[in-house]
Amino acid sequence: EKGGFDHFMLKEISEQPLVVQETIGQRVFFENEFEPYKEELPKDIVRGISRICFVACGTSYHAALIGKFLMEYLADMPCEVDYSSEFRYRNAAVNNSVLTIAISQSGETADTLAAMREAKKRGSYVLAITNRLGSTANREADFSILTRAGLEIGVAATKTFTSQLVTLYILALYMGSCKRSISKKILDETLSYLLEVPKRLEEYFPKFLNDIEKSAKIYSGYKNMIFMGRGINYPVALEGALKLKEISYIHAEGYPAGEMKHGPIALLDPTTPVLAIATRSAVTYEKVLSNIEEAKSRRSRVVALISEGDKDAVNLVNDILYVPDVPEIVSPIYNVVPLQLFAYYAAVWLSRDPDKPRNLAKSVTVE
């Protein structure tokens, strides 16, 4: 049932090109109006909304943070993101001009269900994005979109995360078109970037798997690690750190690289390496390079995600994880893959079972 893979996690990571393909589906091809989710979320509802509030936990929360960037950039929609467990205990100002979007692959996470109920009580519309038809979130929400990842068995969320991301890109484009806040050029361009993902990801695995495994071996020898990224890749740094701590038990924290100098840089020394997301298309690329230099001058070992063809970042770092050179807006889909693999191989090198990390369950149905 693992289809020749040693673990479900590796199988599920490898399924991502197909999952992206399935999630994009046929609905993004259009002649006049771009309306992929018109059945799930009617256009007049979108037009009546002035703000979005995301609620989610764990990896789904990281998808929501990326969703905020997408909603702002592609739909010009004000957005906030909350942990479900925090949203429900504060006086969240949501009402019928707010769309609360709950993201949960299982659709059964107790805190997210409670946040959805709270939002509804306050008069907000609730849209659930889940991977499970018939799940509680799917049934209770006013509107519901299903991601197309297929069943995920590994406790670590991998392919469900990428399918959430792809759904959020399409949803942001749809909302932007309903509100007429996106230009035809950006819409067409972003869709064309998305359509390239399955093929480029497919090519990625055979090319880079061994390099990632080798780097993971080196870093599995450390007890702590800092992940840093900026902009739309800051949530990817958080996700890389969560994956690593969850399955390898190496202590890892993600930071927006610009925050390092406000405290966390005090942690850096030869015992604390850094993983930097330094892909070339980012507007903050130069800034990340100087963040890497700061880490180097504290004698931290640095491994970085670097775009193929890059000539600058390569000279600064100890170890390189290459990723395809893609536009910044779609880079999270590519960048998360080596981080998932890095965590996977670190766990395997440490003889920890990546499919069944200690103290964790696949669905967290208690509050």
Catalytic residues: 362
Nearer to ligand M6R, 45 or 364 (CB): 364
Stretch that binds ligand M6R, among 21-29, 149-157, 209-217, 292-300 (CB under 6 A): 149-157
**In the complex, minimum distance from the CB of residue 306 to ligand M6R, in angstroms, rounded to a whole number:** 25
Q: How many CB atoms lie within 10 A of CB 137?
A: 24
Site string for ligand M6R, 31-60 (x = CB under 6 A): --------------------------xxxx
Is position 16 an interface residue for ligand M6R (rule: CB under 6 A)? no
Cα-based distances in Å from 138 to 45, 96, 193, 339? 18, 20, 29, 29
Residues in the interface with ligand M6R (CB under 6 A) total 16
**Shortest approach of ligand M6R to residue 148 CB, angstroms?**
15
Residue nearer to ligand M6R on the CB measure, 246 or 310: 246
Question: Which of these ranges, 155-163, 194-202, 275-283, 344-352, lies near ligand M6R under the rule CB under 6 A?
Answer: 155-163
Helix (H, G, I), strand (E, B) or coil at 202: helix
Site for ligand M6R in 57-96 (CB under 6 A): 57-60
Q: Identify the bridge partners of residue 277 per DSSP, sorted by sequence position.
A: 305
Quick one: which of 14, 16, 23, 104 contacts ligand M6R (CB under 6 A)? 104
Q: How near is the Cβ of 156 to ligand M6R at its closest, in Å? A: 4
* Residues linked to residue 276 through DSSP beta bridges, in sequence order: 228, 304
Which residue's entry shows tokens 């015992």? Answer: 271
Residue whose CB is less far from ligand M6R, 106 or 162: 106
Distance of closest approach, residue 85 Cβ to ligand M6R, in angstroms: 11
The angle subtended at Cα 161 by Cα 25 and Cα 18, nearest 5°, is 40
Q: Candidates 70-78, 105-113, 226-234, 342-350 — which segment interacts with ligand M6R by CB under 6 A?
A: 105-113
Exposure string for 160-179, b = 16+ CB within 10 A, e = fewer: bbbbbbbbbbbbbbbbbbbb
Concatenating the DSSP letter of every residue in 204-270 gives HHHHHHHHHHHHHHHHTT-SEEEEEE-GGGHHHHHHHHHHHHHHH--EEEEEEGGGGGGTGGGG-ST
Task: List binders of ligand M6R among 229-288 (CB under 6 A).
Answer: 246
Least gap, CB of 154 to ligand M6R (angstroms):
8
| DSSP letter for each residue of 10-51 | HHHHHTHHHHHHHHHTTTT--SSS--TTTTTS-HHHHHT--E
Residues that bind ligand M6R (CB under 6 A): 57-60, 104-106, 109, 112, 155-157, 246, 360, 363-364
